[in-house]
């Protein structure tokens, strides 16, 4: 009995949420359009909008002529109503960015980091937070929340396992909360990048999609029915460790034949090397060189990679039946820019006809710096869910 919708007050909150979400997600809208889309009465829309305007969440933004009558007044979420901060915790740096509600970057703070211990990271995130708040000239009370993206498994705002950082069971949100009054949200980096693409990039408009990220490793973010799917215990989306070659290459996760071992940049270059290719010491340089090389060996390796990746995509298509697959990650983008058409064709060879015909395969639009942007949407999601109700100051 999970669903509990009760009092008449909840209804109002819910309606506020629907209206606010509509205004935020579907661009400036007039009250009139809102009544149509929400199937609320004009009276209620007016009423709720008036409330939202009075609270400063929504503002009027010019008008648009209608068909002969009174012009519609467009509404938008006031970009400067509150601000949100997103942080990306990487292996080598911490990046913190402050956005207004229209998701314009107002300030940024990067900090290189040598050994990413939890203490170091907490310190630099908090420093970055102060820095961006100061640099943007906003007040701390005006910051709605801080979203933090980490490359690891996150359950209930606490990090459970982050191998690349060497962390285990680190209550990151709690640690950060000790140093700030701003509400903290922590989530997985791949999910956050996916979230950014879904809201502002190639995923716009889709409700059932997968954002597939191919870098040195391979991951993905699943979106089902319009919201991120986390599975039973928030670790869904581990697409990289799907077996596509039973008994095949050893993956760093220990298993054999994982997709990552074949299409992750590391795996690709390793295959190239084993086949006799020479590989630059820098992974990205090497990968670019491989893609640009016209040698027969390089071509074979690249083609094989496309084939393996296509099988991985086909598995997604068959199992999840998404309407869109968004390919990203630095290696994924490099690969996709040159070979997207072949990739699509290859997916068709592995996937069932019907779901294949229903999926579109596209590239990420936001580049790889969108992680902090995605993280910054976490507080926004909450704002929208709560219908613009701002948590009381502590």
By CB under 8 A, what part of segment 40-79 binds its own copies? 40, 44
Nearer to DNA, 43 or 232 (CB): 43
For tokens 């019907």, the residue is 354
Q: Is residue 8 involved in binding DNA (CB under 7 A)?
A: yes
For the chain, report the end-to-end CA distance as a whole number of angstroms.
Answer: 32
Max Cα–Cα distance, the chain, nearest Å: 73
Nearer to DNA, 70 or 353 (CB): 70
Distance CA 306, CA 308 (A): 5
Within 10 angstroms of residue 312's Cβ, the number of other Cβ atoms is 26
**For DNA, which stretch binds (CB under 7 A), given 46-54, 77-85, 275-283, 347-355?**
46-54
| Inter-residue contact 188 to 173 (CB < 8 Å) | no
Among 17, 46, 130, 207, binds DNA (CB under 7 A): 46
Q: Is residue 11 involved in binding its own copies (CB under 8 A)?
A: yes
Q: Is residue 108 involved in binding DNA (CB under 7 A)?
A: no
230 SS3 class: coil
| Contacts of 317 by beta carbon, 8 Å cutoff, 6+ apart | 325, 347, 351, 352, 355, 356, 359
Nearer to its own copies, 26 or 141 (CB): 26
Nearer to its own copies, 26 or 119 (CB): 26
Distance CA 106, CA 88 (A): 16
- Residues found in the chain: 394
Please state the closest distance from residue 19 (CB atom) to DNA, in A: 9
Among 47, 142, 164, 318, binds its own copies (CB under 8 A): 318
236 SS3 class: coil
Beta partners for residue 99, in sequence order: 84, 105
Nearer to its own copies, 283 or 323 (CB): 323
Partner whose binding site includes residue 298, from its own copies, DNA, none (CB under 5 to 8 Å by kind): none
Partner whose binding site includes residue 52, from DNA, its own copies, none (CB under 5 to 8 Å by kind): none
Partner whose binding site includes residue 300, from its own copies, DNA, none (CB under 5 to 8 Å by kind): none
Partner whose binding site includes residue 46, from its own copies, DNA, none (CB under 5 to 8 Å by kind): DNA
Among 32, 38, 80, 164, binds its own copies (CB under 8 A): 38
Among 27, 56, 62, 71, binds DNA (CB under 7 A): 71
| Inter-residue contact 132 to 160 (CB < 8 Å) | no
Partner whose binding site includes residue 319, from its own copies, DNA, none (CB under 5 to 8 Å by kind): its own copies
Closest CA to 84 of 105, 106, 108, 100: 100
């Amino acid at each position: 009995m999970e669903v509990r919708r009760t009092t008449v007050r909840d209804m109002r909150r819910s309606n506020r949420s629907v209206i606010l979400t509509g205004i935020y997600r579907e661009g400036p809208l007039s009250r009139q359009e809102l009544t149509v889309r929400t199937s609320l009465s004009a009276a209620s829309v007016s009423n709720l909008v008036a409330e939202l305007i009075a609270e400063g969440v929504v503002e009027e933004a010019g008008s648009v002529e209608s068909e002969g009558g009174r012009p519609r007044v467009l509404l938008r979420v006031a970009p400067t109503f509150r601000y949100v901060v997103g942080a990306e915790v990487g292996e080598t740096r911490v990046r913190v960015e402050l956005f207004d509600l229209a998701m314009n970057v107002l300030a940024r703070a990067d900090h290189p980091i040598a050994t990413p211990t939890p203490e170091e990271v907490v310190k630099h995130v908090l420093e970055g937070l102060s820095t961006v708040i100061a640099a943007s000239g906003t007040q701390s009370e005006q910051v709605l929340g801080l979203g933090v993206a980490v490359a690891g498994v996150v359950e209930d705002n606490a990090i459970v396992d982050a191998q690349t950082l060497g962390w285990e069971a680190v209550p990151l949100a709690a640690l950060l909360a000790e140093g700030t009054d701003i509400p903290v949200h922590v989530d997985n980096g791949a999910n956050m990048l996916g979230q950014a693409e879904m809201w502002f990039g190639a995923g716009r408009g889709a409700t059932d999609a997968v954002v597939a990220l191919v870098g040195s490793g391979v991951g993905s973010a699943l979106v089902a029915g319009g919201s991120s799917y986390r599975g039973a215990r928030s670790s869904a989306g581990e697409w990289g460790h799907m077996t596509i070659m039973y008994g095949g290459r050893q993956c760093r996760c220990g298993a054999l034949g994982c997709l990552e071992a074949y299409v992750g940049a590391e795996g690709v270059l390793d295959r190239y090397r084993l086949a006799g290719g020479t590989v630059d010491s820098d992974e990205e340089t090497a990968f670019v060189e491989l893609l640009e090389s016209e040698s027969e060996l390089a071509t074979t390796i690249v083609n094989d990679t496309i084939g393996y990746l296509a099988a991985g995509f086909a598995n997604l298509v068959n199992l999840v039946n998404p309407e869109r697959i968004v390919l990203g990650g630095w290696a994924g983008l490099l690969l996709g820019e040159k070979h997207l058409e072949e990739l699509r064709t290859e997916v068709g060879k592995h996937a069932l006809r019907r779901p294949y015909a229903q999926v579109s395969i596209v590239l990420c639009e936001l580049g790889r710096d969108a992680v902090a942007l995605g993280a910054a949407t976490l507080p926004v999601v909450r704002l929208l869910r709560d219908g613009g109700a701002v948590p009381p100051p502590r």
